[in-house]
Amino acid sequence: MSDARPVDLAALLAGPVEPAARGLLGARLSAGGVTVRITEVEAYAGSGGDPASHAHRGPTRRNRVMFGPPGHAYLYFTYGMHWCMNVVTGPAGEASAVLLRAGAVVDGLATARDRRPAVRRDVELARGPARLCSALGLDGAAYGAYLLADGPVRLAEPVEPVDPTAVAAGPRVGVTGAHDLPWRFWLAGDPTVSAYRRHVPRRRP
């Protein structure tokens, strides 16, 4: 018998980041004519003492939305070429957020293919946080967007609740601080989940 239950996104995002991250699996994110079903996420505690979070050292111009109320989008630019998206969680002032790492395109497939013409297989269209944003056409213009309203970027409950026994957990990807904390969550066996790569610090010559 499955323990899957309907998801109340507003209540979920208002709570602690770890259960919020788990609960976002299976949720649907829509933007730019494309919808993805979220299959992989990572939790970041921020002001709760998480050294891997962008909010670890307090508010900045870049991370200010993380310190606001839950349900808003935090996007950041990385490697000078990619956008990545987080969903802000917890009460205002705590700065926790969930990084959306991967998803399966469930609507707007042709549009997602047009945005990512080099991709050979559809399971790779939103496989990884930067690819997910690219498939959805997301960039810095979505920074701060409220996701639970009928706006250009929308987060919706899963069509079918996810069975908790189908959720796997493991270390986060590519972080230097608290890299063994098992706060990456994914739908076990889903082909859109990205490959795990542990961060290896570069040695100075």
Which residue carries 């935090």 as its tokens?
74
In sequence order, the β-bridge partners of residue 40 are: 102, 186
Over residues 79-121, the pLDDT tens digits come to: 778 999 999 999 998 899 999 999 999 999 999 999 999 999 9
What percentage of the chain has pLDDT greater than the value 90? 73
CA angle 195, 143, 81 (to 5 degrees): 50
Q: Which sequence spans correspond to the domains of the chain?
A: 9-187
Give pLDDT, residue 203. 54
- E-strand stretches of 73-174: 73-78, 82-89, 96-107, 153-156, 167-170
Q: In whole angstroms, give the CA distance from residue 194 to residue 101.
A: 8
Lowest mean pLDDT among 59-68, 99-108, 142-151, 196-205: 196-205
Residue 54 has pLDDT above 50, yes or no: yes
Give CATH superfamily name and number for 9-187. Answer: Methylpurine-DNA glycosylase (MPG) (3.10.300.10)
Give pLDDT, residue 1. 43
Considering the entire predicted model, what is its pTM? 0.91
Q: Write the DSSP assignment of the chain as a string of letters.
A: --------HHHHHTS-HHHHHHHHTT-EEEETTEEEEEEEEEEE-GGGT-TTSTTTT---TTTGGGGS-SSBEEEEEETTTEEEEEEEESSTTS-EEEEEEEEEEEE-HHHHHHH-TT--SGGGTTBSHHHHHHHHT--GGGTT-BTTSSSSEEEE--SSPPPGGGEEEEPPSS-SSSTT---EEEETT-TTSPPP----PPPP-
Lowest mean pLDDT among 8-17, 60-69, 175-184, 192-201: 192-201
Average pLDDT over the chain, rounded to an integer: 90
In the three-class reduction of DSSP (H, G, I as helix; E, B as strand; rest coil), residue 114 is classed as helix
Average pLDDT over residues 58-72: 92
CA angle 191, 8, 165 (to 5 degrees): 40
Average pLDDT over residues 157-176: 90
Closest CA to 24 of 132, 98, 107, 105: 98
Q: In whole angstroms, give the CA distance from residue 45 to residue 205.
A: 34
